[in-house]
Structure 1
Amino acid sequence: MSDITDKVDKAYADKSVSDIADAPVDALKGVSEGDAEKLKEAFNIKTVRDLGTNKYFLWAQAIAKLAD
């Protein structure tokens, strides 16, 4: 992703990719604080990195790709 500024909240637009990865999940556009809390409760996901490396999300992504 060469330009991720349109995928994160304005507060994170000038941050490095590493900083964004370590940011709370609600740094992503469209993810509310409530959504972030539900992800934390269900899967112990606290950061963007946690979301991107969660085994259940990775498994679902792999299954979806194989289904195509």
Structure 2
Amino acid sequence: MTDIAEKLNKAYEEKTISELADAPVSALQGVSENDAKLLEDAFGIRTVRDLGTNKYFRWAQAVANLAD
């Protein structure tokens, strides 16, 4: 969990994986409230789970992995 905790804002470092999945994307370090609003407006992404399962992000990750 420490590897994941380093990628979270302090308020979320002690949360369980289930709680993190349902946390707002702003729980991730470097994602501001404004960034979260833009993700919601553009893709309907509200939670970390939404971000991780978004089809466009998955497609982009697959392309990047294949390119490596």
Q: TM-score band, normalised by the shorter chain?
A: over 0.9
Query: What is the aligned partner in structure 2 of residue 39 from structure 1?
Result: 39
Identical residues among aligned pairs (%):
66
The 2-side partners of 1:59 and 1:12 are apart by: 28
The aligned residue for residue 18 of structure 2 is 18
**Pairs aligned (count):** 68
Structure 1 residues without counterparts, runs of 5 or longer:
none
Q: Report whether the alignment pairs 1:60 with 2:60.
A: yes
Which runs of structure 1 show a deviation greater than 3 angstroms over 4 or more consecutive aligned residues?
Answer: none
- The code of the aligned residue for 2:30 comes to G
Instruction: Provide the alpha-carbon RMSD of the alignment.
Output: 1.1
Q: Which residue of 2 aligns with 1:48?
A: 48
TM-score (norm 2): 0.95
Q: List per-residue Cα deviations over 1:19-38 (Å, max 9, x = no partner).
A: 01100000000000000000
Q: Helix, strand or coil for the counterpart of 2:34?
A: helix
